[in-house]
Amino acid sequence: MARRLGWLGPGIVLVGVATAIVGAYLVMHNRPKPGEVIETVTIDATAKIVVRAEDGGERSFVELRAGDDLVWQALVPPYAGRPGASGIAWSDTAVAVRVVRDDKAEVFALSIRDASKLGGIKLGVEHEKIKKNPTGPVTITDHIRSYEVIAGDDWNQITAIDLKTGKKLWTAELGPTPVTAGEVTGGLIRIEQGSQKRYFHVFTGKEDRSSEATGIPIDGPPPTPAP
């Protein structure tokens, strides 16, 4: 009996080793992998942010690259941006990534230094589910703030976020007409909805309607529509 039990210890060890090998194999083969490039955002002559789909999955990868070198890589929920309508805003401290989770819009803030998560902000919480395939802009930025355009079936909204603190600054309701274009110009963010051009102060979100009274455009040509 003792002799039989003597083999029990090594047998358990062998089973443990085999289990560990199988576990390591499964971890390696089930580890999320980056897939095709969704969007590339240029920061300067060498640095860029690359957003990739998850190979075989629904999430997304965000990468900071310096030339051909990978500086960091982060796995986030499904990316909400698309080519021509970016969901990325960046500053000297943070990268803000617009994502979709549970049919709701969110912003993930990552440290530009090491991709550590600085925080997250839920958008459009006053409303129902967002549109999955909006046609207008997603994120507009002046690299000090991001201006997040959120669209629903019968509502639209814009929220400003401070890229240094990660805090929500203001939110403005835009009504049911879809947003087709937008950009920051001077101290205003200009939004197009149908034939209407609307202007909001970047610090407060207060709408500037002075051109309605004067008939004089507040600034230059209209923004380029998002594809």
- Number of structural domains (the chain) is 1
Establish if 10 belongs to a structural domain. Answer: no
Establish if 62 belongs to a structural domain. Answer: yes
Q: Model-level pTM greater than 0.85?
A: no
On whether the CB atoms of residues 62 and 98 are closer than 8 A, the answer is: no
On whether the CB atoms of residues 132 and 126 are closer than 8 A, the answer is: no
Q: How confident is the model at residue 186 (pLDDT cuts 50, 70, 90)?
A: confident
Residue 62: which domain range?
33-214
16-20, 70-74, 75-79: which has the minimum mean pLDDT? 16-20
State the pLDDT at residue 221: 53
Establish if 71 belongs to a structural domain. Answer: yes
How many Cα atoms sit within 13 Å of 227 on the Cβ side? 6
Establish if 80 belongs to a structural domain. Answer: yes
Establish if 157 belongs to a structural domain. Answer: yes
The CATH number of the domain holding residue 173 is: 2.130.10.10
* Whole-angstrom distance, CA of residue 109 vs CA of residue 121: 8
Contacts of 44 (CB under 8 A, 6+ apart): none
Establish if 227 belongs to a structural domain. Answer: no
Q: Convert the pLDDT of each residue in 22-43 to its tens digit.
A: 454 444 457 899 999 999 999 9
Establish if 19 belongs to a structural domain. Answer: no
* Whole-angstrom distance, CA of residue 130 vs CA of residue 120: 17
On whether the CB atoms of residues 77 and 59 are closer than 8 A, the answer is: yes
Establish if 27 belongs to a structural domain. Answer: no
Strands of the sheet with 188-193, listed across from one edge? 179-185, 188-193, 196-201, 207-208
The C-alpha angle 47, 49, 55, rounded to 5 degrees, equals: 135
On whether the CB atoms of residues 122 and 157 are closer than 8 A, the answer is: no
